[in-house]
Amino acid sequence: MDKNEYTSHIEKVLISEDEIKQAVAKAGKMIDDICDGRPVRLVSILKGAFIFLADLCRAVSVPCEIGFMAASSYYSGTESTGKVDITLDLSQDISKYHVIIVEDIIDTGRTLKDISDMLRKRSPLSLRIITLLDKPSRRTVDIKADYSLFTIPDVFVVGYGLDCGEYYRSLPYIAVYRE
Ligand code: IMP
Ligand code: MG
């Protein structure tokens, strides 16, 4: 795809770089407050949450460790296939840790439900969920984030880590994608 085609799919900016920055700073303080000086393990779900995690962990001042998991639910295009595969698991034991799952977006909720059920079985000291974006109107399973930075309508978005066919992750803002 060339540059013209690339930009032609950006309908409009939904959440600006500045709005994201402010919300991430606030989320970092909230994590500091709930951890109250104790270390936290931030578990990020690849790939969509990688930029959010990178900014969020630098907004936190309690001792913080990073872990990665990967799951695929969208294989291409903008519709969920409904099937969640855990393609990468944590390399660390979480049983003695306060864990926060860092997610890019909760759509149907299936990915997060599978991952949080799986991690809860490993008996972490506590397990919370923080998501950059929430699309509550699309939920098909019963799951809620403990903290959500932005609630958005039922539109397909890209940028700040979120992709369409692997493109647009590097945009510094969240934009509505046009087919
Ligand atoms: P869920 O399992 O349906 O909640 O889907 C979660 C995953 O689907 C997210 O982690 C994203 O990777 C992807 N996804 C859902 N909605 C969007 C969107 O609007 N843009 C880009 N990716 C999305
Ligand atoms: Mg994702």
Verify whether residue 146 is a known catalytic residue: no
For residue 48 and ligand 1, the question of a CB distance below 6 A is answered with yes
Confidence at residue 79, expressed as pLDDT on a 0 to 100 scale: 64
pLDDT attached to residue 65: 96
Q: What CA–CA distance (Å, rounded) separates 146 from 152? A: 16
Find, among 148, 142, 61, the residue nearest to 108 by Cα. 142
pTM of the complete model: 0.94
Burial of 25 (0-12, 13-18, 19+ CB in 10 A): middle
Instruction: List, as ranges, residues with CB under 5 A of the ion ligand 2.
Output: 48, 104
Tell me, what amino acid is at 87? T
Distance 95 CA to ligand 2 centre (A): 24
The answer to whether residues 122 and 99 touch, using CB atoms and an 8 Å cutoff, is: no
The per-residue pLDDT string of the chain (179 residues; one tens digit each, 9 = 90 and over) reads 899 999 999 999 999 999 999 999 999 999 999 999 999 999 999 999 999 999 999 999 999 999 999 987 754 556 666 667 889 999 889 998 999 999 999 999 988 998 999 999 999 999 999 999 999 999 999 999 999 999 999 999 999 999 999 999 999 999 999 99
pLDDT confidence of residue 72: 76
Output the residue whose Cα is nearest ligand 1's atom 5.
107
The pLDDT, as a whole number, for residue 171 is 98
Contact 41, 53 (CB under 8 A): no
Ligand 1 contacts CB of residue 109 (under 6 A): yes
Considering the domain delimited by 17-152, tell me its CATH architecture. Answer: 3-Layer(aba) Sandwich (3.40)
pLDDT on residue 80: 64
Q: Which residue is closest in CA terms to ligand 1's atom 22?
A: 162
